[in-house]
């Protein structure tokens, strides 16, 4: 548990309506802004709101409270319009400032959408890129699950840290923390999941990230709000094209028509955002050192079927060579 100081607890009540940086500039800095009701009024805060703000009390919270003036406050989030005055973090604080890409989409995703989200998240996370999403069902959940198997992922919540929505993602939440990731909220613990709280968090998802990928989204979707926020923040927006006429892809096609970049090649995208690939993934290292496929599956948690599918693909690409006795070695195409 941590404590949110009174000034910052009051600032959280103004979430999304006032820009702390603008207010601070009007009175000579953040320190001056914290001197009381008169300073808030001088900065342009309406008197009634300034009075309520100045009377706020400290609050206890789950996780760690990072006010805007804390050096650990995430750098990318600090630079967006109207950044949240306080972020509450449960888990590994460094994860919220590492290189990151957001993967978002509809809760009612197709098998195609799930496969793209999982592939993209896996490839990014395996190269040290944090995958950011919103812990929702569908695309968000698939991205988190795939990323945490090989790297870190950050879930941005639309409610206080004392809650989990959907409740069925309680286990996923625990797994994110167990694998070095983090949960981030800008709401007091007492704030429960409500329809009006989730749109606010979409801007924080894109704000934490260098780029946003919308995998699948219908014409009305929170993922499209995230994409809109990303554009306003100067982030790059990518959309995965889907079948014409498919409701799950209508939003992505609209984004592309409006100027979003088209993501048609996961490997190309990952090379751009993830830099050079890792020398060799752990499961392949085990194979190259003589382990059997069954042993690799037991050591890594990957299924035997998925290992075989990946090996067939890597053989076709010339990256691995199959040896007698179902052993493998690096091929000429491996780099």
State pLDDT tens for residues 283-329. 776 777 677 888 888 766 678 887 888 888 888 877 788 887 787 87
Measuring CA to CA, which residue among 100, 96, 101 is closest to residue 84?
96
The architecture that CATH gives domain 282-330 is Orthogonal Bundle (1.10)
**Cα distance between residue 332 and residue 335, in whole Å:** 8
> Which is higher by pLDDT, 222 or 42?
42
Name the token pair of 172.
Answer: 């996923």
State pLDDT tens for residues 164-215. 999 999 999 999 999 999 999 999 998 999 888 888 899 999 999 999 999 9
Taking residue 36's Cβ as centre, other Cβ atoms within 10 Å add up to 12
Task: Indicate where the chain has its CATH 3.40.50.450 domain(s).
Answer: 93-274
Task: Report the DSSP beta bridge partners of residue 168.
Answer: none
Residue matched to tokens 């790297």: 151
State pLDDT tens for residues 94-125. 999 888 999 999 999 999 999 999 999 999 99
Mean pLDDT of the chain: 89
Measuring CA to CA, which residue among 112, 134, 131 is closest to residue 123?
131
User: How many Å from the N-terminal Cα to the C-terminal Cα in the chain?
Assistant: 46
Q: Residue 278 has what pLDDT?
A: 41
Name the token pair of 131.
Answer: 């995958």
Measuring CA to CA, which residue among 143, 163, 169, 120 is closest to residue 274?
120
CATH 3.40.50.450 fits 93-274, yes or no: yes
Q: Residue 322 has what pLDDT?
A: 83
Residue matched to tokens 């820009």: 19
When pLDDT is averaged across residues 272-277 and rounded to a whole number, the result is: 60
| Residues 121, 127, 128: CA angle, nearest 5 degrees | 90
Measuring CA to CA, which residue among 149, 159, 205 is closest to residue 181?
149
Measuring CA to CA, which residue among 144, 146, 145, 163 is closest to residue 154?
144
Q: Residue 305 has what pLDDT?
A: 83
Per-residue exposure over 120-137, b if at least 16 CB sit within 10 Å of its own CB, e if not: bbbbbbbbebbbbbbbbe
Query: Of all helices (H) and strands (E), which one includes residue 198?
Result: helix 198-207
Concatenate the DSSP letters of all residues of 241-259 into one string.
Answer: ---TT-HHHHHHHHHHHTT
State pLDDT tens for residues 5-16. 999 999 998 876
**Cα distance between residue 222 and residue 200, in whole Å:** 10
Question: Could you tell me whether strands 86-91 and 64-67 are parallel, antiparallel, or unpaired per DSSP bridges?
Answer: antiparallel
Query: Of all helices (H) and strands (E), which one includes residue 153?
Result: strand 153-156
Residue 146 pLDDT greater than 90, yes or no = yes
């Amino acid at each position: 548990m941590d404590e949110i100081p009174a000034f910052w607890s009051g600032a959280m009540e103004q979430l999304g309506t006032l820009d702390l940086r603008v207010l601070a500039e009007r009175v000579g800095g953040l320190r001056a802004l914290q001197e009381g009701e008169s300073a808030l009024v001088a900065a342009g805060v309406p008197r009634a709101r300034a009075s309520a703000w100045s009377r706020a009390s400290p609050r206890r919270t789950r996780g760690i409270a990072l006010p805007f003036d804390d050096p650990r406050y995430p750098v990318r989030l600090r630079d967006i319009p109207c950044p949240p005055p306080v972020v509450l973090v449960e888990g590994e604080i460094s994860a919220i400032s590492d290189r990151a890409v957001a993967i978002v989409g509809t809760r009612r995703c197709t098998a195609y959408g799930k496969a793209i989200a999982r592939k993209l998240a896996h490839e990014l996370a395996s190269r040290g890129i944090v995958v950011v999403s919103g812990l929702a069902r569908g695309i968000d959940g698939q991205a988190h699950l795939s990323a945490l198997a090989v790297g870190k992922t950050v879930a941005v919540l639309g409610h206080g840290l004392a809650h989990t929505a959907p409740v069925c993602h309680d286990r996923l939440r625990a797994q994110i923390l167990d694998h070095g990731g983090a949960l981030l909220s800008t709401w007091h613990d007492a704030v429960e999941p409500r329809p009006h709280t989730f749109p606010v968090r979409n801007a924080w998802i894109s704000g934490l990230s260098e780029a946003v990928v919308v995998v699948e989204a219908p014409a009305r979707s929170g993922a499209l709000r995230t994409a809109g926020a990303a554009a306003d923040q100067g982030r790059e927006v990518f959309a995965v094209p889907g079948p014409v006429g498919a409701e799950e892809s209508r939003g992505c096609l609209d984004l592309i028509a409006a100027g979003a970049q088209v993501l048609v090649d996961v490997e190309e995208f990952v090379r751009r955002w993830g830099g050079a690939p890792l020398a060799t993934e752990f499961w392949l290292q085990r194979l190259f050192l003589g382990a059997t496929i069954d042993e690799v599956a037991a050591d890594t948690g990957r299924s035997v079927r998925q290992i075989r599918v990946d090996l067939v693909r890597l053989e076709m690409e010339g990256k691995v060579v199959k040896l007698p006795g179902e052993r493998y070695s690096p091929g000429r195409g491996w780099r």
